[in-house]
Amino acid sequence: MSAPTSHSDLLDPAAISRAEHLGVIARRIVEGYRVGEHRSPLRGFAIEFSQHREYTAGDDPRHLDWKVLGRSDRYYIKQYEQDTNYIAHLLVDGSESMNYGSGKLTKLHYAKTLAACLGYIVLQQRDAVALAIFDDALREQLPRTDNFQRINHIAARLAEFQASRPGDLANCLQLYAAQIKSRGIVILISDLLDDPMALRQSLRRVTLSGSEAIVFQVLDHQEINFKFDGMVKFLGLEGLGEKLVSPQDLRKAYLKEFEAHQREVRKTCEQCGVHHILCDTSKPLHEALTGYLSFRSKT
């Protein structure tokens, strides 16, 4: 099975589902996003340098200012306003409910790919990344790194994780928030199928740590629209059993409950000063990436 090569295809969920190596697909998605029709949002996100200093042995030659060299015949290094002081905490929901997928991608596959892409972007911008995957406990954790070569290791850990347990989003978020030692950004990727009140308390714990936060709520197209045909066997999330029903009989009541839940989720995020982005797994990834880059441009 070969990975797709067209940058436009790489943003499509069907193409992502065919990719074998998450690190490779993350790189291709981000680079395709950069050179394609969505190029402009990414170009302005390089860290700005504030001053120069003379080159000394051991400095990275990639940071030489060649324009200054051409004018003065002297070697100067760009000094940046941010030099790996910024850390992005990637928190990925790996609970059983994330296994659902009515199309090419499960929510978990989408979340893993999005996390790998965001990790790629952050490291490419010379910032640091930390990773945690959770269900009812913090299961996988990678400490912060600013080494761009570690993106494949991050992607491998994401790819290897299998969702098999129920979730406890609120508790895991609080546990992780207690570990945060310096200001940064917490990037939560989850379906948010949890009590919004409990989520509110956890998000407040995050923002009280001085960190910014952005939530990518990853949902399947059918969870959002509930447009099933014929008799459908519904499997209850996280051990709740199964039932054969006519979706037409349930659609109105389901959508009413779903919208009520979504209103509470949006209200929770707004009250906590957290940016919320809804991700439909049937839609191209560029929508999520654009949302992240737009958020970063304002912070």
> Could you tell me the end-to-end alpha-carbon distance of the chain, in angstroms, rounded to an integer?
41
State residue 106's pLDDT score.
94
147-156 as b/e, with b when 16 or more CB fall inside 10 Å?
A: eeebbbebbe
Instruction: Tell me what pLDDT residue 118 has.
Output: 93
Beta bridge partners of 135: none
Which amino acid type is present at position 286?
H
- Tell me how far apart the alpha carbons of residues 102 and 104 are, in angstroms, rounded to a whole number: 7
Q: Give the chain's residues under pLDDT 70.
A: 1-20, 33-70, 72-85, 230-241, 245, 299
Question: Per CATH, which fold does 83-297 belong to?
Answer: Rossmann fold (3.40.50)
Q: Which tens digit of pLDDT belongs to each residue from 237-294?
A: 555 667 776 777 788 888 999 999 999 999 999 999 999 999 999 998 888 888 888 8
Q: What is the pTM of this model?
A: 0.78
**Orientation of helix 22-35 relative to helix 107-124, angle to 10°:** 60
Q: Name the phi and psi angles at 53, rounded to 5.
A: -145, 160
Query: Where does the chain hold its CATH 3.40.50.410 domain(s)?
Result: 83-297
Q: How far apart are CA 190 and CA 94, in angstroms?
A: 8
- Can you give 21-84 as a three-state secondary structure string? CHHHHHHHHHHHHHHCCCCHHHHCCCCCEEEEEECCCCCCHHHECHHHHHHHCCCEEEEECCCC
Instruction: Determine the pLDDT at residue 12.
Output: 56
Helix axes 286-297, 107-124, angle to 10 degrees: 40
Give the per-residue pLDDT at 38.
38
